[in-house]
Amino acid sequence: MKKSVKQAKRKAPLKKTIKLVRKVKLKARSTPKSQAVAKSSVVREPVAHYGLKTQAPINGSHRFIDLFCGIGGFHRAFDKQGGVCVFASDWDKFSQITYRANFPNTNLIGDITTIDVPSIPEHDVLCAGFPCQPFSLAGVSKKNSLGRKHGFEDERQGNLFFNIAAILDHHRPAAFVLENVKNLKSHDKGRTFKTIHEILTKDLGYHVYYKIIDAQSVVPQHRERIFIVGFREPRLFEWPKFPEEGPKLGEILDDKVEDKYTLTDHLWTYLQNYARKHQEAGNGFGFGMTNRSGIARTLSARYHKDGSEILIDQGRNKNPRRLTPRECARLMGYPEKHKIVVSDTQAYRQFGNSVVVPVVERLAKAVIAALHEPALENEPLVMQFGEPKPEDGGQAMKVLKPKPRKRKPAAALA
Ligand SMILES: C[S@@+](CC[C@H](N)C(=O)[O-])C[C@H]1O[C@@H](n2cnc3c(N)ncnc32)[C@H](O)[C@@H]1O
């Protein structure tokens, strides 16, 4: 008796999330296809049914979709593995301008919430660096202080995960790669992540791995992000290996930069006073001064405001400077051919929101390698949710005896 009450309790939040997925799906379905296309003025070509099925093991080039695509960090990485991007979505006007300048042939649309899910082309891999603001520490504290909701309760942004879930449920791609801020793991005492994990594994039946990766082994920037990788069938997947020692800032800095990137006396005095005030109050706040032999703090989307998180020392006789947009591109691992076609402000925002391309490149290689091996009949590992330990790289998994896993009938989600 005791046991069943406990079980019922445990299943309750899941039921709630299933309802939410259903709500998202109904919303998408209730938008007629023609209307969904017309609503978004950014649609360049009609969203079509490509009629491709991905049930068989993939061969040759894989098709991927790039959700919340920003400026295409995922696109670059999966392109490099011989993939073809069949659909991309981002509602930000300036990100679209950059994306189109760099990937003119991709079918890019706007707000994902207005798209009829079945009209999204069939694909092998779903990529999504879904918006992190409701989950990030800065986002949470700002929202708390404003008395607003956050996480899944954020009506405007938090539920975008459910749009991803609805697409996975309908299209059943062979794999997915999701990215978010590290704090997603601990948000709401781990409950937010637990819900996400349960939807992906129990509701959708995917075989899920996750790990926090610090980009500093491939770019001169401390940037920790959580990556969630899932496979429709059990696969032998291995996280990519990263070098022990990463590059230093000197490798990405230009020797000569325009004076406009040097801080004005006014801003530099303000930042020093601000840092002093916080230091006296015992707070850790300070600017992030570094030089050619150091590495940068995490580039944020706010960098355009004062640049305080990454300042480059220019010696005693000159105020420090901020990074140029091109240096930010390198800091995020973008190749020199990446076109920057927007204002500095927008460019800083775009790079601050982006994934680090070489991290995703390694991940894409590992995912595609796993997909090219035949699917396993049984899971090699049964992932069990638990507290991740630092010694196993943040992976909360336990090896249990092999057990075939049954997916819940699709009707449970419809
Ligand atoms: C964290 S950024 C992802 C950046 C991307 N991974 C990259 O490499 O540049 C999240 C993106 O989601 C977009 N976004 C937010 N809500 C959206 C929505 N409802 N539909 C489409 N895109 C949305 C934002 O404009 C932003 O570019």
> Could you give the 3-state DSSP secondary structure of residue 134?
coil
d(CA 160, CA 91): 13
Distance 81 CA to ligand 1 centre (A): 22
Query: Which atom of ligand 1 is nearest to 157's Cα?
Result: 16
Does residue 132 carry a catalytic annotation?
A: yes
Calculate mean pLDDT across residues 65-79: 97
For residue 119, being part of any structural domain is answered with yes
pTM of the model: 0.80
Q: Does the pLDDT value for residue 100 go beyond 50? A: yes
Res. 379: pLDDT tops 80:
no
- Please tell me whether residues 210 and 312 are part of one structural domain: no
Residues 6 or more apart from 54 whose CB is under 8 A from it? 63, 122, 123, 124, 171, 172, 173, 174
Hey, whose CA ends up nearest to atom 5 of ligand 1?
70
For residues 90 and 239, state if they share a domain: yes
Do 341 and 362 fall within a single domain?
A: no
Report phi then psi at 42, rounded to 5: -95, 0
Range of the domain at 390: 9-245+356-412
**CA 9 to ligand 1 centroid distance, Å:** 35
For residue 1, being part of any structural domain is answered with no
Strands 175-181 and 224-231: antiparallel
CATH number for position 184: 3.40.50.150
* 229 and 277 inside one domain: no
Domain end point (choices 328, 353, 378): 353
Q: For ligand 1, atom 12, name the residue with the nearest CA.
A: 68
Please state, in angstroms and rounded to a whole number, the distance separating the CA atoms of residues 185 and 179: 11
Shared domain check, 220 and 76: yes
| Residue 257 forms part of a structural domain | yes
> CATH number, domain at 269?
3.90.120.10
The closest-lying atom of ligand 1 relative to the alpha carbon of residue 110 is 21
Domain co-membership, 222 together with 301: no
Asked if 129 and 198 sit in the same domain, the reply is yes
Residue 2 belongs to some domain of the structure:
no
For atom 11 of ligand 1, the residue with the nearest CA is 68
112 and 188, same domain (yes or no): yes
Best residue among 67, 90, 180 to mutate for probing ligand 1's pocket (most ligand atoms within 8 Å of CB) is 90
The last residue of a domain, from among 336, 353, 370: 353
- Counting the structural domains of the chain, the total is 2
Question: In the predicted model, what is the mean pLDDT of the chain?
Answer: 80
Stronger pLDDT, 132 or 325, i.e. the higher one:
325
Q: Is residue 4 part of a domain?
A: no
Compute the average pLDDT of residues 68-91: 96
**List 69, 127, 132, 328, catalytic entry:** 132
Q: Are residues 227 and 292 in the same domain?
A: no
pLDDT of residue 135: 56
**174 close to 194: Cβ distance less than 8 angstroms:** no
Q: For residue 163, which atom of ligand 1 is closest to its CA?
A: 19
